[in-house]
Structure 1
Amino acid sequence: MPYDHLDLLKPAPFSVLLADAQPLMRLGVAALVDAQADMHVVAQAASLNELQALRAHHRPDVVCLDIALLDPRPAEHLAALRHGETASRVVVLTQRAGEEDIYRAVCAGADAYLFKDSPAEQLLQGLRTAHAGGRYMPPAVAARLAARLHGGVLSQREMQVLEQVAAGHSNKRIGLAFGISDGTVKSHTKRIFHKLGATSRTGAVAIAVQRGLIAL
């Protein structure tokens, strides 16, 4: 067969490392990626340890992962993937839809963030955009990030009080835990309600969980 010299002009497919604890999810994404002419899967990881080892070995152009795999310090591990000598572009494909989850991932360096129920075309666009050095977020993700950026941001102390409220602790117990008065706890609680748009403790906790601020 004659050698087609035009093949020399074609860029090599970029490499993708998949990381997800769910085997069927990895299988489906791998089939989608490998069906494309401009990308291919070099390895699959089912745990954080596997991800770190395979990334060091293969040095993929793009890592496509479920951020849940990086618990309990997802932002720290994501930043490590994104920077350093073996830095890779990072595409997050996850079920975590909280505003805070998205915000923290983007701040840590995620190049794309998609939900697992996203259309295949969006995932492919996210992979290609990330590889090209851009940032990609579909409309649903962008809207939640915008809500986080324009919403009230809780201070460190307010977050601590909110976690205590979520645990069902009284103002008195919260005050004793932090060495502050009941009145100060009430002031923190009022500010939390205002920033979250809540009118009760239960409502504040529900909104915080929905936004990804806390997990129950």
Structure 2
Amino acid sequence: MSDTTSNTTEPITLLIAEDHGIVRQAIVSILELQEDLTVVAEAKDGIEAVSLYQTHQPDITLMDLRMPQLEGVEAIQRIRQSNPKAQIIILTTYDTDEDIYRGLQAGARGYVLKDADFEDLVKAVRTVHGGKRYLPANVALKLADRMTTEELTEREREVLNLLAFGSGNASLAKALHISEGTVKFHVNHIFQKLGVHDRTQAVIVALKRGLIRLDD
């Protein structure tokens, strides 16, 4: 992917949404070394990110996925609801296919991992500001894999989350207020969609893909 530089004399303005202060300060320092980039606001959580976007209307927003108050995907959705042309790049440590899919589906125009070289981050900002998407090859491959898999329903996700904590059919039925027969129906559909044959495999695949998180 070729580099894209700004065609104007005005610097590209940025909002950085990152809840870890040291990481946020490092990102700001890296970006402000570039003459054509300037950070106009910093957010420590998703609610603040949405508010600061409305106040500053930056050219580019760098958004972490995991943040307090409001997570990155929801913050992206709120920003895009108010401004469908908002240019947002996800900057995160998470690279599961579900994270990538949900982030881009919400409206992000780029996806950069925090272990990338700083040149890649700067390139992503300039590329997205130039009107193009920025997806590293490994991210694009995971997105392609995700696009070929069948979507889980909301109910199937609920069942899968409970499976991750070892819930049996009786416990699942009680928690979800459904019959054990309906639980078995959902579990079988989950197995088919994930391409697995038992509950342990289902949980392992779901964790690898980012469909469930044990810290929720």
TM-score normalised to structure 2 length = 0.85
Counterpart residue number, 2:112: 114
Shift of 1:148: 0.9
> Could you give the per-residue CA deviations for residues 32-60 of structure 1, whole angstroms, max 9, x where no partner exists?
21122222111222223432343233221
Q: Judging changes above 3 Å, is the alpha-carbon distance between structure 1 residues 176 and 56 closer, same or farther for their aligned structure 2 residues?
A: closer
For structure 2, the residue ranges without an aligned partner over 5 or more in a row are: 1-6
> Could you give the per-residue CA deviations for residues 59-94 of structure 1, whole angstroms, max 9, x where no partner exists?
211111212126655433212223425963111101
Shift of 1:123: 1.3
- How many residue pairs match? The answer is 208
> Could you give the per-residue CA deviations for residues 143-182 of structure 1, whole angstroms, max 9, x where no partner exists?
1111111123212232222122122211122234445443
Is the 1:59–1:86 contact (alpha carbons within 8 Å) kept by the matching residues of 2? no
Overall identity of the aligned pairs, in %: 37
Q: Which moved more, 1:40-49 or 1:96-105?
A: 40-49
Counterpart residue number, 1:27: 25
Counterpart residue number, 2:189: 191
1:146 to 141, 144, 147: 144
Aligned pairs for 1:85-104 within 5 A: 85=83, 88-104=86-102
Look at both structures and tell me which one has the larger radius of gyration over its CA atoms: 1
Q: Distance in 1 between matches of 2:213 and 2:152?
A: 16
Counterpart residue number, 1:167: 165
For structure 1, the residue ranges without an aligned partner over 5 or more in a row are: 1-8
Structure 2 residue 128 is the aligned partner of structure 1 residue 130: yes
Counterpart residue number, 1:11: 9
- Counterpart amino acid of residue 211 in structure 1: R
Counterpart residue number, 2:63: 65
Counterpart residue number, 1:3: none
- Counterpart amino acid of residue 127 in structure 2: T
- Counterpart amino acid of residue 76 in structure 1: E
Q: Which moved more, 1:59-68 or 1:20-29?
A: 20-29
Counterpart residue number, 2:206: 208
2:155 to 154, 157, 162: 157
Higher helix share: 1
Counterpart residue number, 1:41: 39
Q: Distance in 2 between matches of 1:138 and 1:65?
A: 17
Counterpart residue number, 2:4: none
Counterpart residue number, 2:53: 55
Q: Judging changes above 3 Å, is the alpha-carbon distance between structure 1 residues 10 and 131 closer, same or farther for their aligned structure 2 residues?
A: closer
Counterpart residue number, 2:3: none
Q: Which moved more, 1:177-186 or 1:158-167?
A: 177-186
Root-mean-square deviation (CA, aligned residues, Å) is 2.3
Is the 2:46–2:72 contact (alpha carbons within 8 Å) kept by the matching residues of 1? no
Q: Which moved more, 1:133-142 or 1:36-45?
A: 36-45
Is the 1:82–1:90 contact (alpha carbons within 8 Å) kept by the matching residues of 2? no
